[in-house]
Structure 1
Amino acid sequence: MMKPRTAQQCGQADYGWLQARYTFSFGHYFDPKLLGYASLRVLNQEVLAPGAALQPRTYPRVDILNLILQGEAEYRDSEGNYCRASAGDALLLATQPGVTWSEQNVNRDAPLTRIQLWLDACPQRENPVVQQLPLALNQPYQLLASPDGENSSLQVRQQVWIHHITLEPGQEWHQPLQGSRAWLQSIHGQFQAMSANGEREALGCGDGAFICDETSIRLKAQTPLRALIVDLMS
C-alpha cells in the first residue's frame, strides 16, 4: 500500500524568522491521526532567516537527523558539545533527557534550509552524541543511516535504515525494504513511485508517501530528483 501526503496537505508555519512545513503533528500543528509513523516521529522542512536561532530546548529521547540543503548552521548543547554543518552535510544528534540543544543560522546574509527527522531511540542504545556525514550528491544511492553504521553510514538507536536517492531524468532506482512500513520523501523533483504489486503514484517536490506491507519500492525520475526512503522495522 502507498498513500501519498502532498506538500500542500502538510501543516504550515510562517513566523517571519522561521518558515516550516510539518509532515506530522509538531508545535502548533496538531492532528491526532498524524502523530508520526512507526518510529519516525517528526519530518519537518524548515527555513531559518539569516542570523535566526532556535533557542536552547530539551528533547525527548530521539535521534535528530538534519540534512542541510542551503546555508550553514551551528549546534550547541548544555554539555559543551558543539558542531557546524553546511549545505551537503547530514548531521545526527543523539539527544538525552535534560540536555538542551540550540541551533543558529550562522550566515547573516542568507537563509538556512534543512530537512529534520526525529526517530525514537531505543533506551538500551547509546551512540555518539554527534555524528556527521557528507551527502554523496554525485551518486545515485547512499545508505545514510542504519542501526549498525554499515557502509560508513550514520548509526541510529533504532531499527531504521535511511536511503538517500539522487537520480537524473529517466533514471530508476529499486530499493528492497526490510521493515513492514516505510516513508518516502521527495526533497526535490518529480517522479513515479511503484510498489512490487504494481501500485503507482506520481509525487512532486516536497511530497511524501506512507508505505505499508511492501517488499520493495521503485522510483523513476521525471526531473532531477533527490529523495529519502526511511525503512522502518518498528
Structure 2
Amino acid sequence: MITTRTAKQCGQADFGWLQARYTFSFGHYFDPKLLGYASLRVLNQEVLAPGASFQPRTYPKVDILNLILEGEAEYRDSEGNHVQAKAGDALLISTQPGVSYSEHNLSKDKTLTRMQLWLDACPQRENPALQMLKLNGSQQLIATPDGAQASLQLRQQVWIYHIELQKGEKASFRLHGPSAYLQSIHGSVHAQTEKEEKEALTCGDGAFIRDEAHLTLVAESPLRALLIDLPV
C-alpha cells in the first residue's frame, strides 16, 4: 500500500533566519498521529539564512543524516569534533547523551538548504562520531547497518538510497521489510508496487510504503529523491 503525504500537508515554519518543512511532529508542529514512522523520527527540509546557526544542543541517542542540497555548513560537538560539508555531501552524526552539537551556515550571503533525518539508534551500537560521503547520482546506497558499498554506517537496521533519474527512467528496489518512506526532493515520480498500485508524487511530496516487497519508480521529470527502507 502507498499513502501519499503531500508537501502542503506537512508542518511549516518561518522564523526569518530559518524556513522549514516538517514531515513528522517537530518543534512547535505537533500531530499525535505523526510522531515518526518505524525508526524514522524526523524528516525535515530546512533553509538557514546566511550566517545563521543552530546553537549547541543535546539529542536523544539518534543518528542524524544531513544531505546538503545548497550551500556549506560547519558542524561541531562539545567533544571537539568538527567538519565542514557542502552541496553534494551526506553527513552522518552519531549523537551521544551529554554531548552537544551545533550547525552553522558558513556563507554570509547565501542560504544553506539541507534535508535532515533522525533515526533511532540501537543502544548497544557505537559508531564514529562523524561520517561523510559524496553523493554521486543514479541509485546510490548512502546509509546501511553495515557500511555496505562504501555507505555510511547506521546504528539501526535501515537502508537509505539517494536517487537521481532523468525523465522516463525507471528504478526498482527490493525492500527488506514491511515499511519504507519515499521522499521527492525535486521532480515528479510515479511509485508502483507489484500489485500495480500507482501513486504520483511531485516536488516535496512523500509517501508511506507498507507491506510491499518491491517498489518501482518512474520519473515523470528529472527527479531527485530519497528511499528510506525501514524494516524495524
User: CA separation in 1, counterparts of 2:119 and 2:177?
Assistant: 15
Equivalent residue, structure 2, for 1:207? 205
Q: Hey, what does 2:105 align to over in structure 1?
A: 105
Counterpart AA for 1:161? W
> 2:4 — aligned with what?
4
Match of 2:21 in 1: 21
| Structure 2 counterpart of 1:31 | 31
Aligned counterpart for 2:164 among listed residues 163, 166, 189: 166
C-alpha separation between the residues in 1 aligned to 2:113 and 2:98? 27
- Once the two structures are TM-superposed, the CA of residue 216 in structure 1 deviates from its matched residue by 1.0
What residue is the counterpart of 1:181 in the other structure? 179
Q: Kindly report which structure 2 residues correspond to 1:27-176, keeping only aligned pairs within 5 A, or say none.
A: 27-137=27-137, 140-176=138-174
Partner secondary structure for residue 28 of structure 1: coil
- What is the Cα deviation at residue 50 of structure 1? 0.3
- Separation in 2, partners of 1:165, 1:71: 20
SS of equivalent residue, structure 1 residue 33: coil
State the Cα deviation string for residues 80-133 of structure 1 (Å, max 9, x = none). 000000000000000001100000000001000000000000001000000000
State the AA in 2 paired with 1:226. Answer: R
Moved over 2 A (4+): none
Aligned partners of 1:129, 1:187: CA distance in 2, in Å?
27
Q: Distance in 2 between matches of 1:179 and 1:40?
A: 14
CA distance in 1, matches of 2:58, 2:214: 36
Q: State the 1:228 CA deviation.
A: 0.7
TM-score, normalisation: structure 2 = 0.99
Distance in 1 separating the partners of 2:121 and 2:183: 21
1:85 is paired with a residue of what secondary structure?
A: strand
For residues 96 and 215 of structure 1, what CA distance do their matches in structure 2 show? Answer: 34
Secondary structure of the equivalent of 2:107?
A: coil
Amino acid at match of 1:213: D
Identical-pair percentage = 68
CA distance in 2, matches of 1:195, 1:35: 26
Deviation at 1:195, TM superposition (A): 1.0
Shift of 1:61: 0.2
Match for 1:63: what amino acid?
D
Point out where structure 2 has 5 or more consecutive residues left out of the alignment.
none
Letter in structure 1 aligned against 2:61: R
Counterpart Cα distance in 2 of 1:215 and 1:168: 24
The structural deviation recorded for 1:179 is 1.6
Q: Deviations over 1:145-178 (max 9, x none)?
A: 0000000000000000001111000000001101
**Structure 1 residue identity aligned to 2:108:** R
Give secondary structure in 2 for the equivalent of 1:128.
Answer: coil
The residue type paired with residue 55 of structure 2 is: Q
**Distance in 2 separating the partners of 1:187 and 1:217:** 18
Matched, 1:190 2:197: no
Unaligned runs of 5+ in 1: none
Residue type of the alignment partner of 1:69:
L
Q: CA RMSD in A?
A: 0.5
Name the TM-score, length of structure 1 as normaliser: 0.98
